[in-house]
Structure 1
Amino acid sequence: MRALKKPRPPADVSPAGQDARTWRKTEEEFLAGLATAANRAAYARTTFDSMEKRKLRAVMYREQGELCVYCERRVGEGHPTPRIDHWRPLSAAPEFALHWKNLYLSCATDSTCDVHKHESPLKAELADPDLPWPVDHAYERCVGFTSLGEVYVRSDAPLNEAQRRALVLALGVPHDDEVKDNGVLNLNHPKLVAARIAALDSERTKMERQYKGKTATRDEREACKAALLGEEPLQEFVSIRTRWLDRSLGKAR
């Protein structure tokens, strides 16, 4: 999970053959109709499903560097079509069904991320506010990784207590291979942990080849980190790669 920028929604969200509709106009009409809808969640779902998802994804691929907003698997061309996730669930917050800041691409796997989250809110208690959107919070400062590929909430994360509880609940705690269902997003699933270790091995191999047995300086590692973050699209599991480059991986439990 990382902070993201969402500059602007697609200019036209109508299916082929229909009159063009801007995102802003569609959202304005939706909110007007929502005010009198008998079933707000059903109305929100019907309106959202009427939009041309291909046009939404085309913009969101670029915004997210072709990575899942949660686990950072690849979601670009040649991969299963990603889901468009409502960060604040549509059923609980139908007023945000077409709010651009509330929509993110999530991988299509059946054991983690949006499929696992489904309609669960990203909060510890129902009275708490939802976790901030990635466009409003620097999650790369909150999420840490161990050298064994596990994800956890950093002790120095810029979060209040309610947000910390919610993020811990969302990520799931580090665990052994026997635990395969952990947390709202289940980001410590064994397959994800193994994939992160493979990403670390890839970075080590690349550095060994580049520096041929020499130890890279801090400035050289920072340059490699900046280069990684500047790639388009981003490499899978870019966050654990950059954590390794700046030597800030946590200790495995």
Structure 2
Amino acid sequence: MRRINKPRTPNNVSPDGQPPRPFQAAERDFLRALAAVTDRSGCARSTFDSLAKPKLRAVLYVEQGSLCVYCERRVVERHPPPHIEHWRPLGLNPQLALHWRNLYLSCPNPATCDCRKHETPLRAADGDPDLPWPVDHAYEHCVGFTSLGEIYVRSDAPLDDAQRKALVLAVGVPHDNAMTDNGILNLNHPALIAARAAAIDSERSRLKRRFDKRTLSRPEREAIATNHLGNYPLAEFVSIRVGWLRKTLGVGR
């Protein structure tokens, strides 16, 4: 999970064969229609479903570096395509169905992320605010990773108490024999832990090949981490790769 910049909306969200319509115009027309209906969730769902999803995803891929907003798996345009996730669930927030800051790509894995979350809000208790959108919050400063590939909420994360509880509930804890499925997003699923550990191994092997096994200086490691964050597409599980390069794995646990 990382901060995501969303500088522009799609310039055409109409299905092929229909007159072009910018996303902002579609949202404006939707909000006008929403004010006049009683079934707000139904109206929101049908309007969102009427948009040309590949055209939305094309912009979202660029914004997210082609990584899932939650787990940082690679997301690509294939069957099944990644989900267009409503960070604040559509059923509870129909007015945000076409709000660009509320839309993100999530991988289609059935055990984690949006498939796991469905309509569950990212908050710890009724009455609490939802977790901030990634466009508004630097989640890379809130979550950490262990060298085994586990994800956790950092003790020094810039979060208030309600946000911390919500993020802990969203992420989940590492699995063991007694607890094999937990968290709104289930981000400590064994497959994800193994994949993150493999990402560290790939970084280690790549640097050994590139630098002939010599020890890199801190500025050299930082330059590689910065390069990772500037690439498109981003490397899968980029946050743990950067954490390993910057030697911050396990910090704030």
| TM-score, scaled to structure 2 | 0.97
Aligned pairs for 1:15-30 (under 5 A) are: 15-30=15-30
Paired position in structure 2 for 1:97? 97
Closer, same or farther: CA 16–79 of 1 in aligned 2, 3 Å: closer
CA distance in 1, matches of 2:180, 2:123: 21
After superposition, give the CA deviation of every residue in 1:79-117 in whole Å (9 maximum; x if it has no partner): 741000000000000110000000000000100000000
CA distance in 2, matches of 1:212, 1:174: 35
After superposition, give the CA deviation of every residue in 1:45-90 in whole Å (9 maximum; x if it has no partner): 0000000001000111111000000000000245741000000000
Which ranges of structure 2 fall in alignment gaps of 5 or more residues?
A: none
Paired position in structure 2 for 1:182? 182
Task: Tell me the amino acid that sits aligned with residue 186 of structure 2.
Answer: N
Paired position in structure 2 for 1:7? 7
Does the CA contact (< 8 Å) of 2:175 and 2:181 recur in 1? no
Aligned pairs for 1:22-41 (under 5 A) are: 22-41=22-41
Match of 2:192, SS state, is helix
Q: Which deviates more from structure 2 when the two are superposed, residues 98-107 or residues 177-186?
A: 177-186
CA distance in 2, matches of 1:79, 1:65: 19
Paired position in structure 2 for 1:130? 130
Percent identity of equivalent pairs: 62
Aligned pairs for 1:70-85 (under 5 A) are: 70-77=70-77, 80-85=80-85
Aligned pairs for 1:221-236 (under 5 A) are: 221-236=221-236
CA distance in 2, matches of 1:21, 1:86: 21
Aligned pairs for 1:235-250 (under 5 A) are: 235-250=235-250
> Shift in Å at residue 145 of structure 1?
0.3
Does the CA contact (< 8 Å) of 1:145 and 1:249 recur in 2? yes
Equivalent residue pairs, number? 253
Match of 2:135, SS state, is coil
CA distance in 2, matches of 1:72, 1:177: 25
CA distance in 2, matches of 1:222, 1:79: 37
| TM-score, scaled to structure 1 | 0.97
Paired position in structure 2 for 1:173? 173
Aligned pairs for 1:45-64 (under 5 A) are: 45-64=45-64
RMSD of the TM alignment (CA)?
1.5
Which ranges of structure 1 fall in alignment gaps of 5 or more residues?
A: none
